[in-house]
């Protein structure tokens, strides 16, 4: 293997590095971190891919490159008689052989498999031999002599020579075995000579039989040659007879067709003659048809006007009912303006009364709530005072005359009893006052009767206001309905008057029975008119039908003459089925004997 060139793009420290290897040794010099080992790693990565790279696949990309920039290693090398160029990326690989522009392999797996096959070693073996570091040379030394010899033989290509030698030995053994088997299968020479003599005798016997058969076949051929002309002549005569018979049959068919044509023509002529005779009677019956059609058209118009008048009359009746209903509703809505003024005045008065009741109820409720809160506050205050005095009383009684004075903090001494009695009186007074305020709070906890009465009055006045407001709303709706009904009454009245004017202009006389009678007569005579038109067409065809009858008669005579001529031709041909059968039998017998 001989390296030619290496190009690294965005690979580790190399943004875009191109190295061309000359013949001989190549030394790489540089400080730590300059990328010397990265060049070797790029060669290995180009050959074997991601498994031999340090770190993860993303750590291979140059740290200053864009996130989606391509990472590329391109290695050009020679191996044996071929030159290879492998181009590898993070997710792709291509292998070109001998300067071709079309890749021999174009996937990571295919490129790796093909390079491993051509190099003759796996990535681990490659790194422990050709591409080993100075600290990894011990791998070769760790092998035994036999393992090291086998490995070097495979690396140097000696194992292929050994396989070739083994194949040559196997081929030589197969050829020797085949020669031995062929020699064993050969028979004895005397036995072969006896078989040759017997075969020669059998050939002479067969040749004699063949000569007799050849002479007999020649005689049969002569017989066939003699009988075949007679048979062929009989076949031609038979074919001619069949042809003449076909002519006779065709002519007879023409006669039958001509006879049918004559019969049809005679029927058509007879029909035209009968129809021509009845045309005058039909024309007399059709004379009043034009007048009846004019009368029917007039009656149809009267019928349409009568139907229109009936529909309009029905609509006028409906519109009159709607006009009456609208007028009645307007009469019901007439007092609405007066009622609105009355209700509005009552509503103003009711709202004033409701406002007075609301103010009175609110004022009384405010007083009640204030008294209840005051009672609860004083009760709570008396409870706190009682607790303080009780604590002071119990403490002084517990300490006795040595208890400190609450004012000067000196021992009470002789004042002990007097102070204790004074505190007892205060406790009783505070207890009585607290009991009073508790009872007062319980009394004020329930709404007073006068407040309930004021609330009832407030609710009653508010309900009266709402009732008047609902009544006012209904009156407003009635006023709007009054306007709509007046507009509707005017529209309905105009529609009714318009339809009445149209009814006045329509004809008023229509006889339905006369209309039905005239229509029936027109239908009957129209059908007769159609039949007359058909009959007239048939009568007009009488000359043409007479001509067709004459032509059909002439064609029938010609067809009968053709039949007579064809029959005479067949009789004059004189074909004999017996002679044909005899010639055919003789030829078939000769043919069978020849076979």
Provide mean pLDDT across the span 12-25.
Answer: 86
User: For residues 586, 588, 594 and 595, what is the CA-based torsion angle, rounded to 10 degrees?
Assistant: -160
Q: How would you list the strands of the sheet with 93-97, edge to edge?
A: 14-20, 2-11, 72-79, 82-89, 93-97
Mean pLDDT, to the nearest integer, of 521-527? Answer: 73
Residue that wins the pLDDT comparison between 61 and 531: 61
- pLDDT tens-digit readout, 434-452: 787 788 777 777 777 887 8
Q: Which residues contact 136 (CB under 8 A, 6 or more apart)?
A: 127, 128
How far is the C-alpha of 468 from the C-alpha of 344, rounded, in Å? 8
DSSP label at 404? Answer: B
CA gap 468, 478 in Å, rounded: 15
Given 3.30.1600.10, 3.90.1150.10, 3.40.50.1820, 3.40.50.300, which CATH number is that of 2-142? 3.40.50.300
Checking if the pLDDT of 87 tops 90, the result is yes
**Which of 320-334, 381-395, 486-500, 576-590 bottoms out in mean pLDDT, i.e. has the lowest?**
576-590
- Average the pLDDT over 325-331 and give the result: 84
Question: 226 falls in which pLDDT band (50, 70, 90)?
Answer: low
Of the given ranges (190-199, 307-316, 329-338), which has the lowest mean pLDDT? 190-199
Residue 129 pLDDT:
64
Whether pLDDT at 224 is above 80: no
Q: What is the predicted pLDDT for the residue at 83?
A: 92
Residue 388: its pLDDT value, please?
81
Answer for the pair 422, 396: CB distance below 8 angstroms, yes or no: no
- pLDDT, average across residues 335-362: 84
The token pair at 363 is: 């004022």
Say if residue 430's pLDDT is above 70: yes
- Weakest-pLDDT range from 200-209, 284-293, 464-473: 284-293
Residue 323's pLDDT is 85
Vertex 374 angle, CA 368 and 376, to 5°: 105
What band does 276 get if pLDDT is binned at 50, 70 and 90?
low
Burial classification of residue 162, based on how many CB atoms lie within 10 Å of its CB (0-12 exposed, 13-18 middle, 19 or more buried): exposed
Distance CA 565, CA 571 (A): 10
pTM summary value: 0.30
In the prediction, which pLDDT does 100 show? 87
Q: What is the mean pLDDT of residues 37-63?
A: 82
- Which range of 51-60, 98-107, 323-332 scores highest in mean pLDDT? It is 98-107
Average pLDDT for 26-54: 82
Q: Does the structure show a pLDDT above 60 at 176?
A: yes
Residue 303 has pLDDT above 80, yes or no: no
Residue-wise pLDDT tens digits, 102-125:
999 999 889 888 888 888 777 777
Q: Residues 506, 305: contact at Cβ < 8 Å?
A: yes
**Block residue for tokens 């009266």:** 464
Residue 138 confidence (pLDDT)? 57
Q: At 93, is the pLDDT very low, low, confident or very high (cuts 50, 70, 90)?
A: very high
Q: Which helix (H) or strand (E) holds 16?
A: strand 14-20
pLDDT digits (tens, 9 = 90+) for 129-157: 666 655 555 555 666 777 766 666 665 55
**Residue 299, pLDDT score:** 67
The CATH T-level fold of domain 332-496 is: Helix Hairpins (1.10.287)
For residue 583, the tally of other CB atoms under 10 A from its CB is 21
Confidence class of residue 86 from pLDDT cuts 50, 70 and 90?
Answer: very high
> Distance between alpha carbon 371 and the CA centroid of its chain, in Å?
80
Residue spans of the domains in the chain: they are 2-142, 332-496
Whether residue 92 contacts residue 18, with contact meaning beta carbons closer than 8 Å, is answered with no
Residue 74 pLDDT greater than 90, yes or no: yes
Euclidean distance between the first and the last CA atom of the chain, given in angstroms as a whole number: 82
Q: Is the pLDDT of residue 560 over 90?
A: no
DSSP β-bridge partners for residue 89? 72
Q: What is the pLDDT of residues 489-501, one digit of tens each?
A: 889 888 888 888 8
Q: How far apart are CA 116 and CA 106, in angstroms?
A: 15
């Amino acid at each position: 293997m001989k390296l030619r060139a290496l190009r690294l793009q965005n690979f580790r420290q190399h943004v875009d590095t191109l190295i061309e290897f000359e013949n001989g040794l190549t030394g790489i010099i540089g400080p730590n971190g300059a990328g010397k080992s990265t060049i070797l790693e790029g060669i290995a990565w180009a050959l074997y891919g991601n498994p031999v790279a340090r770190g993860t696949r993303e750590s291979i990309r140059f740290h200053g490159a864009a996130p989606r920039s391509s990472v590329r290693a391109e290695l050009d090398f020679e191996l044996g008689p071929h030159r290879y160029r492998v181009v590898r990326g993070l997710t792709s690989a291509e292998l070109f052989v001998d300067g071709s522009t079309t890749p021999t392999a174009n996937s990571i797996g295919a490129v790796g498999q093909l390079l491993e096959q051509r190099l003759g070693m796996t990535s681990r073996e490659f790194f422990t031999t050709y591409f080993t570091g100075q600290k990894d040379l011990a791998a070769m030394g760790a092998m035994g002599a036999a393992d090291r010899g086998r490995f070097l033989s495979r690396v140097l290509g000696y194992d292929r020579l050994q396989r070739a030698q083994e194949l040559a030995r196997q081929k030589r053994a197969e050829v020797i075995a085949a020669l031995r088997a062929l020699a064993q299968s050969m028979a004895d020479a005397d036995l072969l000579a006896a078989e040759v003599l017997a075969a020669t005798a059998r050939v002479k016997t067969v040749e004699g039989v063949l000569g007799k058969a050849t002479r007999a076949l020649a005689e049969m051929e002569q017989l066939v040659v003699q009988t075949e002309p007679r048979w062929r002549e009989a076949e031609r005569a038979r074919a001619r007879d069949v042809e003449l018979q076909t002519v006779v049959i065709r002519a007879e068919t023409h006669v039958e067709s001509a006879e049918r044509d004559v019969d049809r023509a005679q029927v058509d002529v007879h029909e035209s003659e009968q129809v021509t005779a009845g045309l005058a009677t039909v024309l007399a019956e059709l004379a009043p048809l034009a007048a009846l059609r004019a009368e029917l058209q007039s009656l149809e118009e009267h019928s349409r006007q009568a139907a229109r008048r009936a529909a309009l009359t029905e609509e006028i009746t409906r519109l009159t009912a709607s006009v009456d209903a609208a007028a009645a509703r307007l009469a019901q809505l007439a007092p609405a303006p007066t009622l609105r003024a009355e209700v509005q005045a009552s509503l103003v008065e009711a709202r004033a009364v409701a406002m007075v009741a609301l103010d009175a109820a609110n004022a009384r409720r405010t007083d009640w709530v204030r008294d209840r809160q005051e009672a609860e506050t004083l009760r709570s205050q008396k409870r706190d005072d009682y607790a303080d005095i009780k604590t002071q009383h119990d403490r002084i009684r517990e300490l006795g005359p040595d208890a400190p004075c609450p004012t000067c903090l000196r021992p009470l001494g002789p004042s002990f009893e007097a102070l204790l009695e004074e505190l007892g009186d205060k406790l009783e007074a505070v207890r009585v006052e607290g009991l009073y305020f508790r009872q007062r709070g319980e009394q004020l906890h329930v709404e007073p009767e006068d407040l309930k009465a004021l609330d009832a009055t407030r609710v009653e006045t508010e309900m009266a206001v709402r009732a008047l407001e609902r009544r006012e709303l209904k009156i407003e709706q009635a006023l709007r309905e009054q306007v709509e009904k007046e507009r509707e009454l005017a529209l309905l009245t105009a529609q009714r008057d318009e339809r009445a004017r149209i009814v006045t202009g329509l004809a008023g006389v229509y006889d339905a029975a006369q209309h039905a009678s005239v229509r029936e007569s027109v239908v009957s005579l129209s059908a007769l008119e159609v039949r007359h038109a058909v009959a007239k067409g048939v009568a007009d065809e009488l000359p043409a039908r007479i001509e067709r009858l004459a032509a059909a008669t002439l064609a029938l005579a010609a067809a009968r003459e053709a039949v007579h001529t064809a029959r005479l031709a067949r009789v004059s041909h004189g074909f004999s089925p017996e002679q044909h059968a005899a010639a055919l039998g003789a030829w078939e017998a000769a043919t069978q004997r020849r076979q």
